[in-house]
Amino acid sequence: MLLTRKAAGRTEPVNPLARAVSALAAKTVDRRAFLKGAGLTAGAAAFASQLPLNVVSEAKAATKTGKTEVKRTVCTHCSVGCSIDAVVTDGVWVRQEPVFDSPLNLGAHCAKGASIREHGMTENSHRLKYPMKLVDGKYRRISWEQAINEIGDKLLQIRKESGPDAIFWVGSSKHSNEQSQMLRKFVSMFGTNNMDHQARICHSTTVSGVANTWGYGAMTNSYNDLQNSKCMFFIGSNAAEAHPVSMLHCLHAKETGAKMIVADPRFTRTAAKADQYIRFRSGTDVALLFGMLHHVFKNGWEDQDYINQRVYGMDKVKAEVLAKWTPDKVTEVTGVPEAEVYAAAETMAKNRPSTIVWCMGQTQHSIGNAFVRASCILQLALGNIGKSGGGANIYRGHDNVQGATDVGPNPDSLPGYYGLAEGAWKHWCKVWGVDYEWMKSRFASKAMMEKPGMTVSRWIDGVLEKNELIDQDSNLRAVVYWGHAPNSQTRGLEMKQAMEKVDLMVVIDPYPTASAAMPDRKEGVYLLPAATQLETSGSVTASNRSIQWREKVIEPVFESKPDHTIMYAFAKKLGFGPEFVKNIRLVKDKTGWDEPLVEDMTREINAGNWTIGYTGQSPERLKAHMRLQAHFDPKTLRCTESVVDKETGYDIKGDYYGMPWPCYGTAAVKHPGSPVLYRTDLKMMDGGGCFRANFGISKDGETLLAEGDSHVKDSDITIGHPEFDHVLMKKLGWWSELTPEEQAAAEGKNWKTDLSGGIQRVCMVNHNTHFWGNAKARAIVWNFPDGIPQHREPLYSPRPDLVAKYPSHDDKKAFWRLPTLFKTVQKKALDDKVAEKYPIVLTSGRLVEFEGGGDETRSNPWLAELQQENFVEINPKDAADRGIKYWDWVWVKTPTGAQLKVRALVTERVGKGTSFVPFHYAGWWQGKDLLDKYPEGAAPIVRGDAVNTGTTYGYDSVTMMQETKTTLCNIERA
Amino acid sequence: MARMKFICDAERCIECNACATACKNEHEVPWGVNRRRLVTVNDGVPGERSISVACMHCTDAPCMAVCPVDCFYRTEDQIVLHDKDLCIGCGYCFYACPFGAPQFPQAGAFGLRGKMDKCTYCAGGPEENFSVEEFRKYGRNRIAEGKLPACAEMCSTKALLAGDSGVIAKIYKTRVVTRGKGEEIWGWKMAYGGSDKVSDNLGVKA
Amino acid sequence: MKRLLAVSLFALAAAACHEIPQDAPKPYAGKEDTKAYAGDLFKGDKQKYEQALAQRAQFQNEYNRTGGAKQ
């Protein structure tokens, strides 16, 4: 008798408890069939015969002999930021323990965090161990000195011949805050803005859309704050697999009475926990959200007082939503019946405070900037922003993508979102201790210095596009992949071409990544081993903006080096060594190399980032928080009692855990951090705030400043007001409250450029006033392609009939230095009848076992064993139509001409006409295993075809985000 | 007297596999041996639930009952352990166990299986506590350190509970009472077919 | 009363069929295992050891830190 239900559409019975000892075990119900034959073959029989158990070192257990220390660090995978206690004996990482004290994760981990010790294991390691050079098609080991010299010479040569803009630097969301800001500085000093990192392809649309709505583009509340919600709406977020530990807070909330709604084209593992699940067509978020908003307005559920006081333009939005997004239109576009849309709207409205959670499902579209804004507008209408339990809970990806976005290698801004105008450069030159004129001289011209660079999603076009069409002198001749995988970006076929065309490719990473194996080249590629964040110290910013400090667990393994050490070595070689570390002391590391002191780099972050309040989180406060985690309340994130840190004498009373930015003012001012943004019911020094006055004082005769009674609690200014500068301070008579030193620094400056922090201090401490102004959020962002979010069909739309009604944008001639097509591509897809030949929507996303491009996690045997082959989720009806059975080999064919060989996972998880492939695989190329193209001993254990080898052209109209969530494919038996 | 058990709260389990990798990590379990694994029912459709499964340390352990060389024993805390030196790899315990707990590292000729390996409740085995021999053969001994199994301590949503049965039953009860309903996974209809919802079958308002 | 009789009759009958009681000791032919509380940490104090484990189990109950549980 079977103890499980037969899922409809399955062709054979499944018994999860049946297994055979021999190689070909039976299939289990779930896809994690690690008892299958593949287990014993793919993993190498060598593993199985390693019993007795493999011991990492002969060191006895911690309680017996050997010097044992416990180092506290933070998981390096996702943005939840789970703390880990690493037990180290004689310099070997022997064990890890959960940190129950942490208010963020309370000791919990997902598969990745629970297995992270593997990164420090040197036996059978798949790490990139030594610098390597591609010689006659094979990777040969070279010395660091040779590597730095040869690469440096080549970069200098290219710079001389073609200008500094001829090199593209792909930075990392896995660098610490310190390394991130240093990388921004490094590439600036090299002389170009051609740099980027994972945020581009992750939440770039979020940052832009949300910041333009109300001030900052970050998560407004926190994972913990879900516990205070009455209703949680997940749209385009599969938190159960992408942010598993966040589900601790979510499910706790659900237990205590909160409702949960999940909207996703797939019935994800998150949807399995929902009270209501909405299956809607990928790429139709505006229609769905505005369909819900339609019911909100129709039933008068909106918070009219809140809108009157704190929102601009909602009346126009209301008029448009009521007229345009009637239930029939919504159903036509999304495929969702009216009753379901109504139910979701009602639940959100009647169970406030309610929160929206989104992730890549919303962002990775050609109109991602519109999707995120539609979510913001819904929350503004319901009055949920600035409330605990409400908010726009943006779940960021990599462990430090938030930090890297805030202070790191962005093509369009210096650290802190200061932008690239002359004033911004002058501010940062001052902070970095270098002469502005010198910095300017490093660039090809002032114009290039102030022009945003290309993006990681398009660097390939910087190489391949015709020179006369790109908005810089030279094409790209070199690319440096510094902590970034290539298989997370679309258009893999063209990426391979670009990688083959460049003069030089450098990969700096703890693992070779797919970049090492993808191109067919004989030479011109270098691989440099970087240390992971577990082999160095530094700060990391979680998605909720809390900053945590990582202690160094072990010395860098093999010949790897921390990224900032590598940066300094290159800075010296490239001619700006002293400038690079002007305010930063150097220490000798264990290999005799100069390492920039981490805490000095932290202080340089504190010295410059006044815009986003990265100024108050000094190393001392951060470290004290890590030691005293147990005293922070998991629901409010606050420590209310007096607790003194023994090492520093610092009292954490009043602080919020990790001092979530903004933590305004200097550390001495002791701002506690801001766990919930825009809260007017709290005083400034309790983390309160309001919407930013960043868009002007008025628009079309309407005021943009806050109205009615809306102001930060107890503020001396109770009406809406613009942002503060020295002029306003003087007008108000507050200037005299600054100390003489502060006045000297603040003269002629505003709240962002006053390096003393005096303006911030006086405003918030003495007057409870927000120096960034008190304004309205914008429901209409007039500087965006669509002021009010519009639905536009994806470029590769499965609905040609709707393309005519909802066409994409006009093409752009020079957008982030490159011509960018919208309508042309969409029209060609129609003309070529792509939707008929490729009738299945292809979407991609995450698995819990792997992370990002995946080479790192697929090199960890404990994770790799769980997901050994790439697969495509295909609906049983689509499978039956094509004669495909569960776990057959199939070809996923896309309009690019690429074909990917994967297993067929026949499941009702995806609806008819939709398919899903995880994006973490790489190491195959259209069915062919690239194992021998990796350096010896450094290939991931599990390899597979990368979905992005076949994904198509499509970019967001504001940020150049790639349209990975909606393209088309067909699937055939192999 | 303590009686050590596991409970997996299926309403919370999200199939994240932290329990599986925590165990691998703590005991350096080799590829192919899976002391703990996730089992999912109704994969991909409403009603999907997952459970983390390992040795249940049964009060009346079938493995112990059928072992021809009597290599199993029970500790004072009712944890079921075995002596690998005695084990002949016959596989009887594997056939007897309804949870698939016994794992064998080899699939050799003539049914050569190697020494049986299974979840030890992080209590090591019949070697000196904390010795290298104990770690090599059985993995770490957390219980003797006053700690609980790594899988439960690292569970992402605290679905998997481990500890004295009375203690964890109380924790679990708190959740059930707060939640206002029990598991939506057990019952006659789930096992033998019928509506997904317990509420439908009981005629209870959802 | 009738029910009690029925139950005791059944138990008697079961015993007669050589039903093995569930928690009877089973033979063990292997090495002796050191007790968990024998080492330096608990110094043979079983109660202290059980208390430590019971306390440790509370880390799996986040309600201890968040409150909000219904009783």
For residue A701, the tally of other CB atoms under 10 A from its CB is 5
Beta bridge partners of A750: A725
CA angle A198, A204, A208 (to 5 degrees): 155
pLDDT of res. B109: 81
Q: Above pLDDT 90, what percent of chain A?
A: 93
**Residue among B28, B99, B158 whose CB faces A54 most closely:** B28
Does residue C12 surpass a pLDDT of 70?
A: no
Q: Note whether residue B167 is domain-resident.
A: no
Q: A60 and B132 in contact (C-beta within 8 Å)?
A: yes
d(CA A786, CA A780): 9
The residue among A55 and A613 whose pLDDT is bigger is A613
pLDDT of res. B107: 81
Q: A918 and A847 in contact (C-beta within 8 Å)?
A: yes
Q: A39 and A26 in contact (C-beta within 8 Å)?
A: no
d(CA A814, CA A817): 5
pLDDT of res. A46: 28
Write the pLDDT tens digit of every residue in A328-372. 999 999 999 999 999 999 999 999 999 999 999 999 999 999 999
Query: Any idea which residue has 């945590």 for tokens?
Result: A548
- B129 with C34: Cβ contact below 8 A: yes
Please tell me whether residue A782 adopts helix, strand or coil conformation. coil
Candidates C19, C22, C23, C31: best to mutate against B (most CBs of B within 10 A) is C31
Q: A390 and A357 in contact (C-beta within 8 Å)?
A: no
Please tell me whether residue A121 adopts helix, strand or coil conformation. coil
Q: A596 and A581 in contact (C-beta within 8 Å)?
A: yes
Q: Note whether residue B178 is domain-resident.
A: no
pLDDT of res. C26: 80
- A909 with B117: Cβ contact below 8 A: no
Question: What is the pLDDT averaged over residues A552-561?
Answer: 98
- What are the helix (H) ranges across A806-960? 823-831, 834-837, 861-864, 876-881
Instruction: Pick the range with the lowest mean pLDDT from A694-698, B179-183, C56-60.
Output: B179-183
pLDDT of res. B106: 84
For residue A884, the tally of other CB atoms under 10 A from its CB is 21
pLDDT of res. B103: 94
Q: Note whether residue B103 is domain-resident.
A: yes
d(CA A972, CA A684): 60
**What backbone phi and psi angles, to 5 degrees, belong to A97?**
-125, 150
Band (A160; pLDDT cuts 50, 70, 90): very high
**C45 in reach of chain A (CB within 8 A):** no
Please tell me whether residue A944 adopts helix, strand or coil conformation. strand
Band (A653; pLDDT cuts 50, 70, 90): very high
Residue A343, C-beta contacts closer than 8 angstroms, at least 6 positions apart: A276
- A634 with C62: Cβ contact below 8 A: yes
Which two structure tokens, joined as six digits, stand for C60? 């799996």
**C40 in reach of chain A (CB within 8 A):** yes
pLDDT of res. C9: 57
- A635 with C62: Cβ contact below 8 A: no
pLDDT of res. A51: 23
- C60 with B155: Cβ contact below 8 A: yes
Q: Note whether residue B78 is domain-resident.
A: yes
Tell me the chain B residues in contact with residue A93 when contact means C-beta distances shorter than 8 Å. none
Q: List all residues of chain B from 121 to 180 with a beta carbon under 8 Å from chain A.
A: 130-132, 135-140, 145, 150, 153-158, 175, 178-179
Q: Note whether residue B181 is domain-resident.
A: no
Question: What is the pLDDT averaged over residues A200-225?
Answer: 97
Secondary structure letter of residue A662 according to DSSP = P
Q: Mean pLDDT in chain A?
A: 93
The residue among A93 and C25 whose pLDDT is bigger is A93
Q: Note whether residue B201 is domain-resident.
A: no
- Cβ contacts from B onto C, under 8 A: 124
ipTM of this model? 0.92
Tell me the chain C residues in contact with residue B171 when contact means C-beta distances shorter than 8 Å. 57-58, 60-61
pLDDT of res. A21: 28
pLDDT of res. C25: 76
Separation in Å, CA of B133 to nearest CA in chain C? 13
Does residue A23 surpass a pLDDT of 50?
A: no
Taking CA atoms, B164 is separated from A485, A697, A854, B154, in Å, by 46, 64, 39, 17
Write the pLDDT tens digit of every residue in A482-541. 999 999 999 999 999 999 999 999 999 999 999 999 999 999 999 999 999 999 999 999
Q: Which CATH number do you get for residue B87? A: 3.30.70.20
Q: Note whether residue B45 is domain-resident.
A: yes
Question: What is the pLDDT averaged over residues A888-910?
Answer: 98
Band (A10; pLDDT cuts 50, 70, 90): very low
pLDDT of res. B108: 79
Q: Note whether residue B145 is domain-resident.
A: yes
Separation in Å, CA of A92 to nearest CA in chain B? 15
d(CA A509, CA A155): 19
Write the pLDDT tens digit of every residue in A46-94. 222 222 232 333 333 444 457 899 999 999 999 999 999 999 999 999 9
Band (A860; pLDDT cuts 50, 70, 90): very high
d(CA A832, CA A828): 6
Mean pLDDT by 10 residues, chain B (206 residues): 92 97 97 96 93 95 96 96 96 96 88 92 96 96 96 98 97 91 60 56 47
Taking CA atoms, C64 is separated from A167, A228, C58, C61, in Å, by 54, 16, 7, 6
Does residue A22 surpass a pLDDT of 50?
A: no
Half-sphere exposure of A424 (CA within 13 A, CB side): 16
Please tell me whether residue A683 adopts helix, strand or coil conformation. coil
pLDDT of res. C39: 87
Nearest alpha-carbon partner for A207 in A461, A454, A394: A394
What H or E segment, with its residue span, contains residue B3?
Answer: none
Cα end-to-end span (Å), chain B: 40
Write the pLDDT tens digit of every residue in A27-37. 333 333 333 33
Indicate the pTM of the whole model.
Answer: 0.92
**B39 in reach of chain A (CB within 8 A):** yes
Write the pLDDT tens digit of every residue in A283-331. 999 999 999 999 999 999 999 999 999 999 999 999 999 999 999 999 9
How many domains does chain B contain in total?
1
Does residue A279 surpass a pLDDT of 60?
A: yes
Tell me the chain B residues in contact with residue C37 when contact means C-beta distances shorter than 8 Å. 144
Domain encompassing residue B144? 4-154
Write the pLDDT tens digit of every residue in A765-784. 999 999 999 999 999 999 99
